[in-house]
Amino acid sequence: MTITLTTQKQELEKMFTSRPGQWITLPEILRLGIAQYNARILDLRRSGMNIQNRTYKIGGTRCSEYKYTSEQLAHQLGVSVGTIKNMLKRYSIRKKGKGNRLPKSILKLT
């Protein structure tokens, strides 16, 4: 019998790569049993994965979601992952009260 042990980083990476372009809620991530999920997400980002996050409130409770954008998805849109990162940064700065300014091709990712 072979027992395969995976690290928390590998489990989280598997979750993100199986659902590129989809928002994954924090409760879904916590179900993996990862003790320090923020540290593991940082590890994945440092290894080159493009992971965005967003927070919002529902009835006074802060909710978090994370999304992995693969190079393959960026290629389908005809842009680089860096371009997507920069557009999302600009959007997150501008979105406070100024409306949505992202191009429609990028909005499909959000």
For residue 44, pLDDT beyond 70: yes
Q: Which domains does the chain have, with CATH numbers?
A: 8-100 (1.10.10)
pLDDT tens per residue, range 47-91: 888 899 999 898 989 999 999 987 656 666 666 667 766 666 665
Q: Tokens for 80?
A: 């680089």
Listed in sequence order, the residues at least 6 apart from 109 whose beta carbon sits closer than 8 Å to its beta carbon are 21, 67, 69, 73, 77, 84
* pLDDT cut 70: percent of the chain above it: 60
Listed in sequence order, the residues at least 6 apart from 96 whose beta carbon sits closer than 8 Å to its beta carbon are none
pTM of the shown model: 0.61
